[in-house]
Structure 1
């Protein structure tokens, strides 16, 4: 018979924080810096924890720390528990006032620069005391945080999961790849805009990694719009400035520039070529209803998306109807 470890009496929050930090940083030095304690103090906490659990939690490697099977199990448990404690703290904030609370949002890069600023502006106008935590990343990095409760929902492009994961994916809009230019660009004065005419202009393109970058490259190849002199930048601000100040064109998911499209300083160049469908929306956990702060954010997001749809900048997908996809790059 296994002797009891009495974890309910001996396990403390600082133990959970320690193992979570070491598992995240793979280094005692980096984890101690993240926790704001000395490395010897963290080493002592880890030794104490391993004695309590009677398990080795990390293998000490020449270049860092690797969790054992027990360490990985405890790190996963720690993330869930710490997320629940944060959630309790946020719910207590909500009880202190009608606009209290915190919403933790995971966002993909296109949504972060596109639809989120407008949605959050609307949210803060309606609920000025509500706090927002944003975490930008790739889908594969954000999904574990959604499952563990570290974030409440994910906003952005909806990619098909490699395997069923039980998460709720609700499409709300399409973010098609399009050709963009400033509103007074010479191309809009042409009697007919053709691909041949567009090839006379240089491009400024985002150096977006992963799948978005592949989709942009595929669309460029399809339109044969890939001059050797094109500029590439990871800076949204640089691309935006070049579009406004020059005759350069850009090819990107159009809602990366949602604010400028809504203000009318940039326009979508109408083309006969079909743009690849790119559904976007929200991802929610199946067994956790968003708290009041999350519900307020979702209402603001839906209202902002509705405005974008009314302005003809993207097709809007309604869960209550079969909305048409935005399969053309033309501005309706």
Structure 2
């Protein structure tokens, strides 16, 4: 059966298939692409009509790709990667610097590392434009593979299988206990893990990977938080720390600016956890162009400043 894919299959179709295969969900794929769910469903129906086969089976938790879906999704990713590679090559021919730098930022890095890194870059290279896209690991990895991002900065999680990307650790995101600088807990002589039970704890949401890691750490410290406040918003966590006697258990890099300014302090408790390396993720088939490398240099410099000025309870 001739499908005439060259004439009928469009670039937008490739992005739809890649997004659905990445998220295993029509709804999540629609959000990632900035489309309504009905619009994405209509696009999928168009693609299935062109291909002549069902590509995804729906179920209560999302969708699963059929054998046809797996084949089409793999081809879509290859084609999107080739288009991204062409864009890189054209950028290199045009000037060699790569133009705007598109950075994917995981949550802790977005809140704690990016502001200082961008301030440093603005001083050193005011001519460089940076675009920041915040997201979760699986979303950003997909965008990096499609060459929609130049690099990702943030936590380096253990891989289930090789993905062809290069991961370069250059800092860590240790979990620490943080409170406002004038918090009464700093005047106590019994600053052990047990004193945390005397204060309201502020924690990341359990749906975040870091929230799950923190719950494991608290259990190891034998701390059972009573009705903690949980939030995925760094701004809310920060305001709660300033407005109340709440104490946060979070990666302190998330509040690096406040700690450097002395508005917040680290509490020296035995909050040891598993190593939490962080750094750079990039594609392995091309080197970073000069503008992207300048951003990386600025990020390394700012992280070095944080680590040299902050006395951490543990790394």
Query: TM-score when scaled to structure 2?
Result: 0.78
* Equivalent of residue 16 in structure 2, options 12, 21, 39: 21
Q: Return the offset for 1:142.
A: 3.3
Are 1:134 and 2:133 matched, yes or no? yes
Larger radius of gyration: 1
Cα distance change of structure 1 residues 231 and 291 upon mapping to structure 2, 3 Å threshold: same
Shift of 1:48: 8.0
Contact map agreement 1:23 1:66 (CA 8 A) in 2: no
The 2-side partners of 1:157 and 1:221 are apart by: 22
- Residue in structure 1 matched with residue 55 of structure 2 by the alignment: 58
Partner residue of 2:108? 110
1:204-215 pair list within 5 angstroms: 204-215=202-213
Within the candidate set 177, 189, 199, 1:179 is matched to 177
Task: Please state if 1:261 is matched with 2:259.
Answer: yes
Q: Is the 8 A contact 1:99 1:129 kept in 2?
A: no
Distance 1:246 1:94, change over 3 A: farther
Kindly indicate whether residue 189 of structure 2 is the aligned counterpart of residue 194 of structure 1.
no
133 and 114 in structure 1: CA distance in 2 versus 1, 3 angstrom threshold: closer
- Cα displacement (A) at 1:202: 1.7
Cα distance in 1, alignment partners of residues 56 and 246 from structure 2: 53
Match of 2:225 in 1: 227
Which piece of structure 1 moves more, 82-91 or 277-286? 82-91
- In 2, the alpha carbon distance for the partners of 1:40 and 1:196 equals 52
Cα drift, residue 277 of structure 1: 2.2
Q: Distance in 1 between matches of 2:310 and 2:40?
A: 56
> Aligned partners of 2:270, 2:41: CA distance in 1, in Å?
65
* 1:191 CA drift (Å): 4.4
Match of 1:168 among 166, 169, 176: 166
Residue ranges of structure 1 left out of the alignment (5+ in a row): 315-327
CA distance in structure 1 between the aligned counterparts of 2:121 and 2:14, rounded to whole angstroms = 36
**Is the alpha carbon distance of 1:210 and 1:42 closer, same or farther for their aligned partners in structure 2, counting shifts above 3 Å?**
closer
**Can you list the C-alpha shifts for 1:38-92, whole angstroms capped at 9, x where unaligned?**
8999589647843xxxx53636879998755344433333344335435655765
Checking the alignment, whether the CA contact within 8 Å between 1:178 and 1:275 is kept in structure 2 is: no
Contact residue 100 and residue 128 of structure 2 kept, 8 A: no
Counterparts of 1:215 and 1:60, CA distance in 2:
33
Give how far 1:275 is off: 4.0
1:159 aligns with 2:157: yes
Q: Distance in 1 between matches of 2:72 and 2:85?
A: 20
- Report the Cα distance in structure 2 between the residues aligned to 1:62 and 1:174, rounded to whole angstroms: 39
Residues 175 and 272, structure 2, Cα contact 8 Å, conserved in 1: no
What is the TM-score of this pair, normalised by structure 1?
0.74
The answer as to whether partners of 2:96 and 2:289 remain within 8 angstroms in 1 is no
Report the alpha carbon displacement of residue 6 of structure 1 after superposing the two structures with TM. 8.3
Q: Does structure 1 conserve the Cα–Cα contact (< 8 Å) formed by 2:18 and 2:76?
A: no
What residue number does 2:237 align with?
239
Distance 1:170 1:39, change over 3 A: closer
1:117 CA displacement? 2.2
What is the SS of the residue equivalent to 2:291? helix
In the superposition, relative to structure 1, how do residues 40 and 188 fare at CA in structure 2: closer, same or farther (>3 Å)? closer
Greater displacement, 62-71 / 256-265: 62-71
**Structure 2 portions without partners, runs of 5+:** none
Aligned to 2:284: 286
1:302, distance to aligned residue in structure 2 (A): 0.9
Residue 34 of structure 1 aligns to a residue whose secondary structure is: coil
Which stretch has the larger CA shift, 121-130 or 297-306? 121-130
Deviations 1:166-207 (A, max 9, x none): 432221112111110101112222345233444322212221
Query: In the TM superposition, what whole-angstrom CA distance separates every residue of 1:245-280 from its partner, at most 9, and x where no partner exists?
Result: 221111111111111112111110012453432111
Kept in 1, the 8 Å contact 2:203–2:229? The answer is: yes
